[in-house]
Amino acid sequence: MSAARNFRVLPVLVFAIALAFSLKLADVAGRVSTLFDSAYAEEKAALPPPEEAAVHGAEGKDAGDAHLAEGEAVDEAAQGADTDEGAQATEWRDAADTDLELSDVKMEMLDDLSARRKELEAFEASLRTREALLQAAEQEIDRKYQELSKLRGEIKDLLGQQAKEEDERINSLVKIYEGMKPKDAARIFDTLDLDILVTVMSRMSERKLSPVLASMNPERARTVTIMLAEQKALPSLPEME
């Protein structure tokens, strides 16, 4: 009887426990549902209305596009800056190259000017040397001219002295032949050199010369007469200065 009583009590306890568990589970489920509803309500309250959401979405998209455009602009600016820097660097390099080329051109010009200056200096030195040689030559020519002038004067003096002595000898011969008899003088004149004969006879007086010519060989007398006539007709030579 005690066992039967216990057997009947056990299902009641199991039912009571199951009922209590069900109630507890329902209570927990209700609390969880309440929590979900509260969270959904709060989330819904926090969300903007559909129009505002669309506007905010568009604004967000525009803002994103703006940020994207700004980023692209920044990138392009950076690229432009890099390009400008590259161009400036290139231009700087070109300027440096140009400076180097100008420096090379200047150096070439300076070298050319230096070479030209050396050539001019050498030419000037050559001209000075030639001028010195010309001056020396002129001095030598002047010296030679002075020597020749002196020698000419000496020769002139000697010739004058010789001419004077010759005149004296001829005059002496003229006096001798004028003092001789015409026949004797004629015989000597027929044998004398014609130049000497003409010189002597040209200085004899006509009175003394006539009988001598008459006594000479007719052919000889004719030749001497022609030479005397030509000598008188010839102009006198200018005296040497």
DSSP letters along 4-64, please?
A: HHHHHHHHHHHHHHHHHHHHHHHHHHHHHHHHHHHHHHHHHHHSPPHHHHHHHHHHHHHHH
| pLDDT tens digits for range 120-175 | 999 999 999 999 999 999 999 999 999 999 999 999 999 889 889 988 999 999 99
The amino acid at residue 169 is: R
pLDDT-based confidence at residue 112 (cuts at 50, 70, 90) = confident
Lowest mean pLDDT among 98-112, 180-194, 205-219: 98-112
Res 6: pLDDT: 45
**Best CA proximity match to 182, nearest among 205, 213, 161, 206:** 213
154 vs 67: which has the higher pLDDT: 154
Higher-pLDDT residue of 3 and 151 is 151
Cα–Cα distance for residue pair 161/21, rounded to 1 Å: 189
Percentage above 90 pLDDT, the chain:
31
pTM of the model: 0.38
Triad 229, 232, 236: Cα angle to 5°: 150
Cβ atoms of 192 and 218 closer than 8 Å: no
The helix (H) or strand (E) run that includes residue 214 is helix 206-215
Residue 29 pLDDT: 59
User: What would the DSSP string read from start to end of 163-202?
Assistant: HHHHHHHHHHHHHHHHHS-HHHHHHHHTTS-HHHHHHHHH
Alpha carbon 196 to chain centroid distance? Answer: 80
Which range has the worst mean pLDDT, 20-24, 103-107, 127-131?
A: 20-24
**Of 2-16, 43-57, 168-182, which has the strongest mean pLDDT?**
168-182
Cβ-contact 203, 177 below 8 angstroms: no
- Cα separation, 168 vs 173, whole angstroms: 9
User: Quick check: helix, strand or coil at residue 205?
Assistant: coil
